[in-house]
Amino acid sequence: MKKIRNIIFDIGNVLVRFDPLDYLIRTYGEDFETIKLLHLNIFSGEEWKLLDQGLLTTEEAIARIEERIPEHKDAVEKIMRTWETFLIDEISSSVYFLKKFKKMGYKIYALSNYPERGFFYTESTFPVFELFDGKVISYDVREVKPGKRIYEILLKKYQLKAEECIFIDDTLVNIKTAEELGINGVHYIHSNQLMELYLKLAEEAR
């Protein structure tokens, strides 16, 4: 592996926790039909993907979802208008290691699928985002992972060499795309992997 100079982080479920199913279960308990409907129509629906791409407004998404499940209008309104305020929480162990990598001299970048309003809230709420040297977010470039184009935009925008980058993401297909482009990948499952990466990079720096 060529000398690493840049560490690229996905955001959702790598740096901040995003678990809408957990929220739905805690909110609706044994009402599985409601949990299933809201999960499928909101977080697994086409509208969420279009929000990630910046191709749909919140108002348009709400209207489309409510047309499908009008009996859950109140829940759709609450979730779609305020989800970022109760679904996003910092993953402290990941942030800890991001700071360690920064102190080691690595450039830190973000590459993430994220709706516009949610990203603004996340970036302004958690101080760790001040440490980033650059970012490419899906809504802004209207491209999403695992498509190659969003990775290429990041590399070109910041003049990065793929082989000098490590990309950390919780979704395996996103890692595979990165590796196809020559970027080193870490499929994030738990924080122990970040300790392993730290130890490996520290050893290579000696």
Cβ-contact 17, 93 below 8 angstroms: no
Q: Where are the alpha helices (DSSP H) in 11-107?
A: 20-28, 32-38, 46-52, 58-68, 73-87, 92-103
Tell me the pTM: 0.94
pLDDT tens-digit map of 78-123: 999 999 999 999 999 999 999 999 999 999 999 999 999 999 999 9
Dist. CA 16–CA 193, nearest whole Å: 16
User: Are 87 and 23 spatial neighbours (Cβ–Cβ below 8 Å)?
Assistant: yes
Query: What share of the chain in percent tops pLDDT 70?
Result: 99
* Residue spans per domain, the chain: 6-17+89-205, 18-88
Q: How far apart are CA 123 and CA 132, in angstroms?
A: 10
CATH fold of the domain at 6-17+89-205: Rossmann fold (3.40.50)
